[in-house]
């Protein structure tokens, strides 16, 4: 069964092709420092071929949620080092997802700072803050001369991740956060070199991923995208426009030789994703999205039919820390409990039972 066979993603040597998808869980407290809960949570899941951490903020203004971990301070780096040591002790491989939240935040979350974005356009909705639910504020449009500094914050976060013992990083350019905001003609209405045409909207992402690859080695860097996901008011509803934008992004990073391309999409086997895979020319990780649970049969078929090299799995990994063994032997699965996906305790985080050995 190919799903359980080894595979290399750049410098990452996976023992199987089932990947822990990045999963926001909000257990890192006010200071964003990984604690005992995070150490145990990731340790339990070390038999996955690869762990991709929850989105981790690279600068104070980029934090999207209370309880989200960071990779900025010495304490955060030390906390993550405990996580990587625990995962490595169990034989696992782990990369950090670097996530700049962009406008997906609130001053109450980022110590009174003003959220930043490609353009001064607010999300139409509310977010959870330490002081209750509040409407998203209008963000401040980043000036062109500020963008290299934002890139450098992400680059430094990648260096910090390597210092903390990570095997690599994944640059988050999906799900409505900053790099994704630059890609959409709805959230990015700039008229400078970073807006307007598909090539211009892809420019900031290309520059950032290139800089991260140069800093820590391209074969330790992945990127996640979610074309046409239409989440958090980052709308990509024009098929031709979306294809042109992502073609430009992938054409700009393909020469780097990255470890992998991760695509969150409802139809991973479809023309859009498979065409981007061909343009990328390297390993493809697929995730079939938030709509339904990824099943064993679906994951096996993606790999068997050569629609993907590896499959990222979310909720099934939350509920089954030993998912690889359960899927490999076709054993019964624990059911995920959505009411405990987010929180501050170990309930629904470290207390799902493993198989009896």
Is the Cβ–Cβ distance between 170 and 140 less than 8 Å? no
Q: What is the DSSP letter of 333?
A: -
Is the Cβ–Cβ distance between 250 and 261 less than 8 Å? yes
Is the Cβ–Cβ distance between 279 and 251 less than 8 Å? yes
Q: Can you read off the two tokens belonging to residue 279?
A: 């343009």
How many helices and strands in the chain, by DSSP H and E?
10, 14
Query: Which phi-psi region, left, alpha or beta, contains residue 246 (left: φ > 0; alpha: ψ -120 to 50)?
Result: alpha
Rounded CA separation 114/117 (Å): 10
The residue among 263, 259, 298, 256 whose CA lies nearest residue 277 is 263
Question: Phi/psi of residue 155, each to 5°?
Answer: -60, -45
Q: Where in the sequence numbering do the catalytic residues fall?
A: 177
CA torsion angle 116 119 121 123 (round to 10): -60
Q: Can you read off the two tokens belonging to residue 123?
A: 């999300």
Is the Cβ–Cβ distance between 286 and 263 less than 8 Å? yes
Is the Cβ–Cβ distance between 100 and 57 less than 8 Å? yes
Q: Can you read off the two tokens belonging to residue 145?
A: 């001369």
Question: Phi/psi of residue 347, each to 5°?
Answer: -65, 125
> Kind and range of the H or E element at 179?
helix 178-183
Which single residue is written with the structure tokens 């989105």? 55
Q: Can you read off the two tokens belonging to residue 146?
A: 């500020």
The residue among 69, 148, 143, 144 whose CA lies nearest residue 101 is 69
């Amino acid at each position: 069964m190919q799903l359980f066979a080894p595979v290399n993603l750049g410098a990452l040597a996976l023992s199987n092709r089932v990947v822990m998808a990045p999963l926001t869980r909000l257990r890192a407290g006010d200071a964003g420092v990984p604690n005992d809960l995070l150490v145990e949570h990731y340790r339990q899941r070390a038999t996955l071929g690869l762990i991709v951490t929850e989105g981790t903020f690279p600068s104070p203004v980029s934090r999207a949620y209370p309880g989200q971990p960071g990779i900025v301070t010495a304490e955060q780096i030390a906390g993550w080092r405990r996580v990587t040591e625990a995962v490595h002790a169990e034989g696992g491989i782990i990369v950090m997802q670097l996530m700049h939240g962009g406008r997906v935040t609130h001053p109450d979350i980022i110590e009174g700072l003003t959220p930043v974005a490609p353009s001064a356009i607010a999300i139409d909705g509310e977010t959870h803050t330490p002081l209750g639910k509040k409407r998203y504020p209008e963000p401040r449009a980043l000036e062109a001369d500020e963008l290299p500094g934002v890139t450098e914050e992400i680059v430094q976060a990648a260096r910090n991740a390597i210092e903390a013992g990570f095997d690599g990083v994944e640059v988050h350019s999906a799900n409505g956060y900053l790099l994704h905001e630059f890609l959409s003609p709805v959230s990015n209405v700039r008229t400078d070199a970073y807006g307007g045409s598909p090539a211009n909207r892809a420019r900031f992402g290309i520059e950032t991923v290139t800089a991260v690859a140069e800093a820590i080695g391209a074969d330790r860097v992945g990127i996640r995208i979610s074309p046409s996901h239409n989440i958090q008011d980052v709308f990509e509803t024009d098929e031709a426009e979306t294809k042109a934008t992502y073609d430009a992004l992938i054409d700009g990073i393909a020469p780097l030789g990255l470890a992998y391309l991760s695509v969150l999409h409802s139809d991973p086997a479809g023309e859009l994703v498979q065409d981007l895979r061909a343009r990328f020319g390297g390993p493809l990780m697929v995730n079939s999205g938030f709509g339904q649970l990824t099943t064993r049969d679906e994951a096996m078929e993606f790999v068997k039919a050569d629609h993907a090299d590896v499959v990222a799995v979310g909720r099934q990994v939350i509920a089954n820390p030993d998912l690889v063994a359960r899927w490999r032997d076709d054993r019964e699965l624990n059911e995920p409990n959505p009411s405990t996906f987010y929180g501050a305790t170990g309930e629904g985080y470290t207390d799902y039972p493993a198989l009896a050995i």
